[in-house]
Amino acid sequence: MTRPLLFAIIVAMLSCSNSVDDTENTLVTTTIQGQCSECLAVGGYYRFTELALQSVAGGADSLTSALNAAWANDMSKGELSIFMRVEKIDGNTVTFRLVSGARVGKDGDKCLVRETEVDLSLPLTEAGMGPSISTDFYVYAGSEAHPKNCNPMAAAHAIPVVEVVATVTCSGVCDPRDADTLEGTFAAALAKEGLHGTCVCLDLGPTTTSDDVCGDFSADYVGMDDEGNPNGVCDGCGEKYQELGGLIPAFNGGADLDWESCKETVGADAACLTAGFKAIRITEADLPADCQ
């Protein structure tokens, strides 16, 4: 074999080997998955710092904006709080325990409403975690003494959100603790029956709380229409509460939600929604006690 021909063969072999080198992509994938695995530990606690509606079927921008403003206001006053605990890590599956909190007094104290507690199991993936196995969740707001939502027939005085499926990504920064954050999305639904069975006490003030404006529940309270006849709305709640389903059109340009959008998933009239959230790592000492 001549020297020029041998040199040409060597050059050709080197160029072929470089063209299929995907080592860098493999390293990136391993690092992303490793970050979530390394930061998450059983017994780790996280507190939601943001919760924002991204879309709801049949909902106009005005409705999304109004709900997000109300949620942000509630979170800033301690009226709305959600916590997560890493309950179990089994192979490539992470299980979080999700629970709503209630405000106690006006000093920022909270307690955990254990009736709202559910588990979210998510597989670890190349991009983070999820999608999770679906579950239902009750979103509580207000104080333990004065809930902002009244739902006498449900497990908790809270807004029921059904068929919740979560996806989560990790910051990958385990230390310092306050840099260990989770972000994610919820795909879920509002069941029409559950929504129309929930009454709310509106409080959009920057400093007022549910203790100031919602009043006490009364098991003997009977809802009345404009003509003073019983209408079965908000029975067992109080005069400060209004049916949530009836309020939707007021913030939605007079229109109702698209109750057909998630009907097949839920098995009854329901509107699909998506929401985003952020959560920050807290110490066990920062976790509230259970509500009494």
Q: How many Cβ atoms are within 10 Å of 242's Cβ, its own excluded? A: 18
At 13 the pLDDT is 33
Please state, in angstroms and rounded to a whole number, the distance separating the CA atoms of residues 52 and 156: 22
CB 285 within 8 A of CB 279: no
Block residue for tokens 């939707």: 248
At 35 the pLDDT is 59
Q: Classify 5 as helix, strand or coil.
A: helix
The DSSP-derived string for 228-270 is S-B--SSTTS-TT-EEHHHHHHHHTTTPPP-TTTTHHHHSSSE
pTM of the model: 0.84
Taking CA atoms, 97 is separated from 36, 54, 108, 278, in Å, by: 17, 23, 22, 16
Taking CA atoms, 141 is separated from 39, 220, 241, in Å, by: 30, 23, 14
Please state, in angstroms and rounded to a whole number, the distance separating the CA atoms of residues 155 and 29: 42
At 191 the pLDDT is 95
At 16 the pLDDT is 39
At 108 the pLDDT is 79
Please state, in angstroms and rounded to a whole number, the distance separating the CA atoms of residues 156 and 149: 9
CA 268-272-276 angle, to 5 degrees, is: 145
Predicted confidence pLDDT, tens digits, the chain (292 residues): 444 433 333 233 333 344 444 433 222 233 344 557 678 889 999 999 999 999 999 999 999 999 999 999 999 999 999 999 999 998 889 999 999 999 998 877 999 999 999 999 999 888 889 999 999 999 999 999 999 999 888 878 999 999 999 999 988 888 888 899 999 999 999 999 999 889 999 888 888 999 999 999 988 899 888 788 888 889 999 999 999 988 899 899 999 999 999 999 999 999 999 999 999 999 999 999 999 8
Q: Classify 146 as helix, strand or coil.
A: coil
Please state, in angstroms and rounded to a whole number, the distance separating the CA atoms of residues 220 and 107: 32
CB 43 within 8 A of CB 104: no
CA dihedral sign of residues 181, 284, 96, 156 = negative
Q: Is 5 left (phi over 0), alpha (psi -120 to 50) or beta?
A: alpha
Please state, in angstroms and rounded to a whole number, the distance separating the CA atoms of residues 141 and 157: 9
Please state, in angstroms and rounded to a whole number, the distance separating the CA atoms of residues 206 and 18: 61
